[in-house]
Each structure stands twice: as C-alpha cells, then as structure tokens.
C-alpha cells in the first residue's frame, strides 16, 4: 500500500476516530450510551464510523436474494429506525427515513425484476450504514454536539483485488480534503462498510468492513488514535464462547493482532490493521457496554511478559494430504500443489511438510474439500497412475488452533508446552506448523476436540485458571467434609492461585446430581437426593465433557465394585483420586491394570489418603525408593481408631466404654468391627508393600482380630449391645503388659522379604509409637539410609476432616502437576 499523504492539521487538532459496531447501536438506549461515551472522551475533534444496527445487514442480504415480497421484513426495519428518530425528537429524520425506505423497496423490486448486479447488491446491502449514521448524527445533534454527516461513498474510492478491497489513496485523500473544507464541524459521523469504485459504482468492503473503513478514515484524517467499540473488553486471550476463562489482553503488537485475527479472533479483521501499521496508528479495542474498562491497545510495542498472548481457533476446516515415495527429492512438488489449489480458487490456511518430503498436507475450508481434492488428483494424475504418489486424502471435520505471541521468538519449549497441554487433554494432533518468525504455532485437531484442546492450551500457558471438572462419588462423612472444604476454598484458589475447581457431579449409591455451573451450590445434598438414578457411564461422560480439558473423579465410597471402573476412567484421560483402600489393596491383577491404564494415558492416580489420611505416607515411601534407598522394614500404627483406643486404655475405664466413646465421636466405622478386626490396617499394609515393589495380597497378611469369632457373625446392633464381652480378655492383656513395663499398641509390620503381620503388640516405652496422642498414626521406615534412626511420619490419622484434607491435597497435586507439565 502506498503511503497516503499526511493531513495538514496541527497535532493538537488531530481527531480521534471511533468506530461503533451494530450491537452498540441496536436501539435508542444504546445510541444514548454511545453519545455519552463520545462526550465523556473530551476530545475536541472526532470521526465516528458506524455499522448498521445489529442484524440489519443480514436482513438486507436476505431481502436482496428473496423471490417473494419483502414488505413485512422491510416494515420491521423501518419501525426500529423510526424509534430512534422518536428518541431524538427529530421529525425531519422520521420523514427522511420514510422516503429512503420507499427508495430501498424500489431497489429490491428492481433486483427481483431484472436480476441483481454487484453494484445493486452493494447499494442494498450498504443501506443499513446510511440509516444508522443518519440516526446517530441526529442523536448527537440532539445532545448538543456540532456534528456533520459523511456518506463514505462521496470520499472513498476502492477497487476490487484478490487480496480484498484496495484503497485508491491519492483520489480518496483529495476527496476527503475537499469535503472537509466544506464541512469543518469538529465531529463527523461516517458510514462504514460502503465506498465506490473508480467508475462511481457502489461497492462494499466485505463483512466487518466498517472496521476497515474506520482504519482508512483514521489514515485520511491523520488521526491520533483509532478506537473500535464492540461488546467485549478488548481482544481476549481466546474466544469466550469456547473458553469461559478468557482474559482481556491489555496490549498487543500489530503482528500479534494480525495472527490472532487471521486465525479466527472476531474482534478485528486483519485488513483493518494494515493502514494502521504503516502509519504507526495506535488502535484500541474497547467495550461500549463497559466503557470504564481500558480494553486492548494495539501498536508497534513488541515487549511481552509471556511467551503466548492468546489463542484462536478456526472450525469448519479440512486436512488435504498428498503422499508418496515418488515425491522424495523431486523439486517443484510443493509449487505444483499450491499452483493447482490457486488455479481452483482455494485458499490455504496452514501448510505442513515433513523433512523427508514424503508428504505435503494443508488445511483448507471444509466447504472447499471436494474441489481441492479433485484439483490435486487432476494435477498429479500421471504420478498417481504409475504409483509414484499413493494418492490424495481428505480428512473432514478439522479445527485449527493457533498460539500467538511475540514472546515466543527465541523461547525454547513453547511448542512442547502447547503439545503437552493438548496431549494431556487426550487430544491427538493431526498436523503442526510454525513459521520462521516464531510468532505463532498452529495445530490441526479433530473438530470435536477443538474446544477441549483450546481450553487445555489456554490453561497450559497460564492465560486462565487451571480448570478441573470434578465428580465426587460417596458423599458420606469424608465426601461431605471434602465438598464443604472445596466450597469454602473455591473462590480463593481461583483468584489467588488460578486454579479453577468445578464440582460438576455428585453421586451416592442411588442418585446423582449433574450440573454445568462453575459454582457448587450450598444445597448440593438436596439436589443429589432429588436427582436421577445413579448411572456411572453418564456420570463419567458429564465430568469429562468436550469443552473442559481436565477431569477428575474422586471416589470417597468404600465400594469394591467402583474400583473396577478406575482403569476405564484413567484410560479415558480422567484423573482418579480416592481415600478408599479397595483398589490399591484389592486383587493384584486389577491393581496392575489400573496402574497400567494410568501410565499409558498420562492420567494421574492419587490415593495418598488411603493409608495415612492427611499424612504424606505414600509420598514419603515413593521418595525414598525413587531416590535409590532400599527398604528394610516398615512398622507402626495405621489405624486412627485403634490408636485412640490404646492411647487411652490404661485400666481406669473398661475397653468397651472407650469403644463406645470412640464410636460416638465418629472415630470408628459405623460398624466398629471393621476397625477391630484389623482388616483395614492389613489393607493399608498391602498398599505400602505394593508401593515398595512387593507383590503382596491381602491373604498373605497375618491378621490378629480383636473380636472373638462368635461376635463377628451377629448383627451390628447385637454386637454393640455385647461390647462388654471384650473387656475380660483386654483387661488381661493390659495387666500383663503393665507387669512387664510395656504398652499395648495395634501394630502393622512389614519386612524386606514381604512378611506382613497385623496385631496387638507389647512395645517398650522407647518405641516411637509408645507416646502417640489422640488419633495419631505413626509409620517408621527403616532403610539403608535410615537404619540406626528410622524415618518417622506421625500425625492425626482418623476423622473425616483430616481424611478429606488429604484428598483435597491430592487434588491440588493433580492441578499442580498439570500446571508444571500441561
């Protein structure tokens, strides 16, 4: 584009150009707000470029192509504009609108009768801008502004080009200067979208052409700044319809804005930026519905605090691939591919070619797919016929995601971060392309995966919170405590740590509640009880929807059957967290398949709370082994219930009385025999053994139960009534220990060979478990490094609040790992 001549206006008199889109001008109230915005700007001179009222151009396009009488639709448009005239109390505008709508009806009749030429189409399609400009000028004058009206066709001359409408700058500048000399008012309302060609015929600048009009008039008038007013707070880091957490970008360079606009950001058209770039004209994108927001400034500044500024997505694409060994080392193949597509009038959005030259693929509009494939089949018919090229394949339903940012230049790891984030969202990348400028990376994915991939990439670059879709099964004591902890922390985590935890599903054994909201309601329990019957397949599908990149199911139940579902969830990319011991201590074959599913899919499996509630027992053992230490033995107290009982059992009260108190405090299971039988401790010991690399099954653990066999076979209520029958044996055990100067503790032990025992033991006063408090758990790890002085982990090991906190910590670890390794 040749540089347009500079305007002779003094710098302090240069106007500011404002463009308002159709949503900002939709009715009288919005026009009044536009008037207030312009007044509050306090600028001495303004050019105001306008689009048609919202929806008007679409109606005019439909009317120009209709074959029946358009009177009703045209009458509805007239009523909308007459309401604007009434709001301005402008009788002259009302009369003018009546006449001009009559003229439009005649144009439509002419189009139906003799056929619609391009110029006649343009005269009809551009009518909306003429009407809105006249209405806004009336409003501004009504509000006391000295305001002129410019029909852009009287100044702007353009000609059609394959790259879009091109401005005749010399002719347009002369016409603008002449018009301005005759119309010196400080404020001018200008019609967007419309112009004339060199012969004087009407022409339009294409959809979103009013933005381009505004940039052109900003250059013609040597404006200080161009502000494009729409309905978003500037350019956003992603399409908010696809990424609800998209954030407003305070600043972009011209090249960043161009890349984002090309790849689908609807806020600005790439063509709008070209005149501004040549004149270094600053552009602001602002929200007329929120004028207090500063929006986005676009200029030459290329400084960037982050590698990626934003992401865009294009849907409705297809992948065209030419492949064959006969292409290897043959010059001119790519030229023939793109020459054939150009001859067919097909635009290519993305190109990818392997260094082996074995294939060339490009992304095109899906609507052009069949024609593009036919063009390449024709161009390479000879090579396909003799087998040098295997063929041309067309893959439909493709979406393209582009990551854009000046900060990507020379920054290692950007592509890895993008691809890793998309991979963790279980999305396969079909093709990838990056230009030598390094300002953007584009990837092609399946159309159905586009939203999930976009959200995952957006979170990977910390442009929004790390969003996790969460489903919780088993809202018992632990589940309820967890839900309340999540609800209390949700807002803080989102605002302070950019972690967005969304509880979108809750289920018990009978009913489930599925919700799409981002905030968990306080009455979640009532919603579960009134929900549909529990359906685990529907539950998992809801937790793992296409538009959210990361999903977590938290199993707070004690159901062994649920553990059967873990492998499938993990294989589908759903992270699994549980305080239940059923999976990790269950059948070894099932546990190995669960671990294999997690490893192959990349989904995380967390079960820290299954052994030590809120204590880092499993993580400590993993750290020891992963750093090369050798385990020699584990021993300790692994039941908060039994810890509390024997910490308090000193003979002053019967054992049964202590047991009843523990049950009343909620320290025991609903049936205390589940604790006293020792199987809960045995399961925990199996989990630790397996973490240490030992193939131990529950049947291999020697377990001493504290419940006589006769009491194990009766109903729970009868057992509770006969608790006194435990006292005689327990009193004898205690008396013996006291005579020997020892203490009773229910211990779990494991040696390096896999010998595992669980039972009541007498320990010396020097043992680490001799001085536990309340419900403390304690684990001693004896290893090659910690042989003389074992490593001890100790702390509260029972209670729903503590266990829920352990599960919550696992959830935050999942979120943290996703952030570090998106």
Residue 604 neighbours by CB under 8 Å, 6+ apart: 575, 576, 598, 813, 814, 817
Exposure string for 489-524, b = 16+ CB within 10 A, e = fewer: bbeebbeeebbbbbbbbbbbeeebbbbeebebeeeb
* Integer angstrom CA distances of residue 146 from 44, 142, 185, 211: 11, 10, 6, 24
Task: Give the H/E segment covering residue 311.
Answer: strand 310-323
Tell me the two tokens of residue 606: 């967390």
**Of 19, 309, 581, 684, which residue is the catalytic one?**
684
Cα–Cα distance between 158 and 180 in angstroms, integer?
19
Name which of 713, 653, 641, 712 is nearest 680 in CA terms: 641
Strands 499-507 and 511-514: antiparallel
What element of type H or E holds 185? none
Burial class (CB in 10 A: 0-12, 13-18, 19+), 29: exposed
Q: How far apart are CA 570 and CA 572, in angstroms?
A: 5
Residues contacting residue 821 through CB under 8 Å, at least 6 positions apart: 420, 424
Q: What angle do CA 745, 751, 753 make, to 5 degrees?
A: 150
- Phi, psi at 412, each rounded to 5°: -70, 150
Residue with tokens 């600053």: 282
Rounded to 5 degrees, φ, ψ at 360 are -130, 130
Q: Hey, what are 12's tokens?
A: 């302090």
DSSP 345-394: T--EEEEEE-TT-SEEEEEEEGGGHHHHHHHHHHHTHHHHHTTSS-EEEE
Alpha-helical regions (H) of 461-581: 477-497, 524-529, 536-543, 560-563, 566-571
Shortest CA distance to 439 belongs to which of 196, 571, 207, 260?
260
- 114 by DSSP, 3-state: which? helix
Cβ-proximal residues to 806 (8 Å cutoff; 6+ apart), any chain: 579, 608, 609, 612, 613, 614, 615
118 annotated active-site: no
**Within a 10 A sphere around the Cβ of 25, how many other Cβ atoms?**
27
Strands 359-365 and 296-299: unpaired
Longest dimension (CA), the chain: 116
Q: What span, in angstroms and rounded, lies between the C-alpha atoms of 441 and 438?
A: 7
Phi (first) and psi of residue 346, to 5 degrees: -110, 130
Q: Are 582 and 559 in contact (CB under 8 A)?
A: yes
Report in angstroms the alpha-carbon separations of 814 from 279, 552, 556, 809. Answer: 49, 9, 17, 9
With contact defined as beta carbons under 8 Å apart, do 795 and 777 qualify?
Answer: yes
Q: Is 301 left (phi over 0), alpha (psi -120 to 50) or beta?
A: beta
Burial class (CB in 10 A: 0-12, 13-18, 19+), 141: buried
User: Which residues sit opposite 48 in a β-bridge?
Assistant: 18, 189
Instruction: Specify the residue for token string 């709001």.
Output: 87
Count the residues in the chain.
Answer: 822
CA distance 741 to 767: 12
Q: Which residues are catalytic?
A: 684
């Amino acid at each position: 584009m040749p540089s347009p001549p500079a305007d002779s206006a003094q710098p302090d008199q240069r106007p500011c150009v404002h463009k308002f889109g159709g949503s900002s001008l939709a009715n009288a109230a919005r026009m009044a707000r536009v008037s207030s915005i312009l007044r509050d700007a306090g600028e001495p001179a303004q050019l105001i470029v306008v689009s048609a009222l919202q929806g008007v151009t679409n109606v005019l396009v439909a009317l120009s192509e209709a074959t029946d009488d358009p009177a009703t639709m045209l009458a509805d448009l007239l009523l909308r504009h007459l309401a604007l005239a009434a709001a301005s109390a402008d009788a002259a505008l009302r009369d003018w609108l009546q006449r001009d709508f009559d003229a439009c009806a005649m144009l439509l009749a002419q189009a139906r009768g003799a056929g619609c030429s391009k110029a006649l189409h343009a005269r009809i399609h551009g009518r909306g801008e003429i009407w809105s400009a006249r209405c806004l000028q009336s409003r501004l004058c009504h509000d006391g502004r000295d305001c002129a009206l410019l029909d852009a066709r009287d100044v702007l001359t353009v000609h059609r080009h394959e790259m879009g409408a091109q401005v005749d700058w010399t002719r347009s500048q002369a016409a603008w200067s002449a018009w301005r000399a005759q119309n010196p008012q400080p404020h001018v309302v200008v019609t967007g979208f419309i112009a004339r060609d060199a012969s004087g015929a009407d022409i339009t600048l294409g959809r979103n052409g009013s933005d381009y009009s505004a940039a052109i008039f900003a250059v013609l008038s040597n404006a200080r700044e161009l502000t494009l007013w729409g309905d978003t707070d500037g350019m956003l880091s992603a399409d908010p319809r696809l990424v609800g957490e998209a954030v407003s970008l305070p600043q972009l360079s011209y090249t960043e804005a161009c890349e984002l606009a090309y790849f689908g950001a609807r806020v600005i058209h790439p063509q709008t930026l070209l005149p501004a770039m040549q004149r270094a004209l600053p552009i602001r994108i602002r929200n007329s519905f929120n004028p207090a927001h500063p929006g986005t400034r676009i200029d030459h500044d290329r400084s960037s605090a982050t590698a990626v500024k934003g992401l865009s997505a294009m849907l409705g694409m297809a992948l065209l691939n030419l492949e064959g060994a006969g292409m290897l080392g043959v010059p001119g193949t790519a030229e023939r591919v793109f020459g054939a597509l150009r001859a067919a009038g097909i635009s290519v959005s993305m190109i990818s070619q392997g260094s082996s030259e074995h294939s060339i693929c490009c992304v095109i509009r899906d609507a052009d797919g069949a024609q593009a494939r036919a063009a390449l089949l024709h161009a390479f018919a000879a090579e396909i016929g003799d087998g040098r090229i295997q063929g041309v394949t067309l893959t439909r339903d493709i979406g393209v995601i582009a990551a854009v940012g000046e900060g990507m230049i020379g920054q290692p790891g950007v592509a890895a971060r993008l691809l890793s984030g998309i991979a963790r969202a279980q999305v396969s990348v079909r093709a990838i392309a990056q230009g030598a400028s390094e300002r953007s990376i584009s990837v092609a994915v399946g159309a159905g995966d586009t939203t999930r991939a976009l959200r995952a990439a957006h979170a990977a670059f910390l442009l929004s919170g790390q969003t996790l879709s969460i489903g919780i099964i088993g809202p018992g004591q632990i589940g309820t405590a967890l839900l309340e902890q999540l609800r209390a922390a949700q807002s803080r985590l989102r605002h302070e740590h950019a972690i967005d935890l969304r509880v979108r599903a809750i289920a018990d054994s009978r009913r489930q509640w599925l919700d799409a909201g981002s905030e968990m309601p306080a009455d979640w329990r009532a919603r579960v009880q009134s929900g549909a019957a529990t359906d685990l397949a529907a539950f998992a599908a809801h937790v793992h929807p296409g538009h959210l990149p990361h999903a977590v199911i938290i199993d707070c139940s004690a159901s062994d059957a649920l553990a059967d579902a873990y492998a499938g969830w993990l294989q589908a990319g759903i992270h699994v967290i549980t305080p239940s011991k059923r999976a990790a201590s269950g059948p070894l074959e099932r546990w190995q398949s669960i671990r294999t599913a997690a490893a192959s899919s990349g989904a995380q499996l967390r079960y820290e709370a299954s052994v030590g509630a809120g204590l880092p027992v499993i993580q400590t053992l993993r750290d020891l082994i992963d750093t090369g230490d050798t385990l020699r033995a584990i021993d300790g107290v692994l039941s908060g219930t039994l810890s509390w009982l024997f910490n308090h059992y000193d003979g002053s009260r019967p054992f049964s009385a202590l047991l009843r108190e523990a049950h009343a405090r909620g320290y025991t299971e609903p049936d205390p025999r589940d604790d006293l039988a020792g199987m809960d401790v045995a399961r925990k010991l199996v989990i630790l053994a397996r973490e240490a690399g030992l193939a131990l099954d529950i049947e291999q653990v020697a377990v001493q139960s504290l419940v006589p066999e006769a009491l194990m076979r009766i109903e729970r209520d009868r057992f509770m009534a006969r608790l006194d029958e435990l006292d005689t044996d327990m009193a004898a055990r205690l008396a013996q220990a006291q005579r020997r100067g020892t203490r009773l503790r229910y211990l779990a032990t494991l040696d390096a060979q896999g010998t595992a025992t669980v039972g009541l033991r007498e320990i010396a006063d020097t043992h680490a478990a001799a001085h536990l408090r309340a419900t403390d758990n304690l684990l001693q790890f004896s290893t090659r490094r910690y042989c003389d002085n074992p490593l001890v982990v100790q702390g509260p090991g029972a209670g729903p609040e503590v266990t829920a906190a352990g599960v919550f910590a696992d959830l935050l670890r999942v979120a943290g790992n996703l952030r570090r390794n998106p």
